[in-house]
C-alpha cells in the first residue's frame, strides 16, 4: 500500500508566492540594508546573545530577518511538498532521485566549505545551508521533470 503525504497542488502557488516575497524582502533587507523601525518589537527569546546573554526573557528585536527566513523556508517547503498536476509513479521516482542527489550535493558542498572556509565566513556558509537543501531538491526535481518532458531523459 502506497501512502502519499504530499499537500494538494494548489499549495504550489502559495509556496511560489511566499518564496518570491522572501527573495524580494531578502534583497531589500540584506542588499539595500533596509531595517524598518516598525519591525522592532518586543519578542520572547529562549536565548539571545547580543551585548549580553539573556535566557527566557522578553527582548526588543527587529524581526525583519526572521520574516525573510520564514517566507523563504515556508515557500520552499510548500513548493517541495506539494503534488504536481499529474502525480504519477514516475514523478514519485523523480522525487526520490532529487532527494538523494540534493542531499549528496549538499553534503559535498558542506565538506568543501568546512575544508576551505574559516572564521566568521563559515557562519555565512551555515546561513546558506539553511536553504540550500530545499533549493537543490527543487532544482534537481524540476530538471528531471523538464528532461522527461523534452525526451532527453
pLDDT, residue 50, reads: 80
Find the angle CA(16)-CA(20)-CA(25) to the nearest 5 degrees: 150
pLDDT, residue 49, reads: 87
pLDDT, residue 153, reads: 65
Strands (E), 12-147: 40-49, 53-62
Contacts of 68 by beta carbon, 8 Å cutoff, 6+ apart: 22, 25, 26, 29, 30
- Output the tens digit of pLDDT for each of the chain's 153 residues: 455 789 999 999 999 999 999 999 999 999 999 999 999 999 999 999 888 899 999 999 999 999 999 999 999 999 999 999 988 899 999 999 999 999 999 999 999 999 999 999 999 999 999 999 999 999 999 999 999 988 776
pLDDT, residue 2, reads: 59
* Integer angstrom CA distances of residue 4 from 1, 14, 91, 99: 10, 20, 12, 16
Q: Using an 8 Å Cβ cutoff, are 125 and 117 in contact?
A: yes
pLDDT, residue 149, reads: 86
Amino acid at each position: 500500500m502506497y501512502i502519499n503525504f504530499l499537500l494538494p497542488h494548489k499549495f504550489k502557488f502559495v509556496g511560489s508566492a511566499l518564496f518570491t516575497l522572501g527573495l524580494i524582502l531578502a534583497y531589500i533587507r540584506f542588499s539595500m540594508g533596509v531595517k524598518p523601525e516598525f519591525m522592532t518589537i518586543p519578542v520572547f527569546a529562549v536565548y539571545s546573545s547580543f551585548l549580553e546573554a539573556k535566557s527566557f526573557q522578553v527582548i526588543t528585536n527587529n524581526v525583519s530577518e526572521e520574516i525573510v527566513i520564514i517566507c523563504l523556508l515556508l515557500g520552499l517547503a510548500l513548493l517541495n511538498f506539494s503534488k504536481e498536476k499529474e502525480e504519477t509513479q514516475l514523478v514519485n521516482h523523480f522525487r526520490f532521485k532529487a532527494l538523494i542527489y540534493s542531499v549528496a550535493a549538499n553534503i559535498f558542498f558542506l565538506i568543501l566549505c568546512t575544508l576551505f572556509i574559516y572564521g566568521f565566513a563559515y557562519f555565512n556558509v551555515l546561513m546558506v545551508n539553511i536553504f540550500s537543501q530545499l533549493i537543490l531538491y527543487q532544482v534537481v526535481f524540476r530538471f528531471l521533470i523538464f528532461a522527461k518532458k523534452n525526451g532527453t531523459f
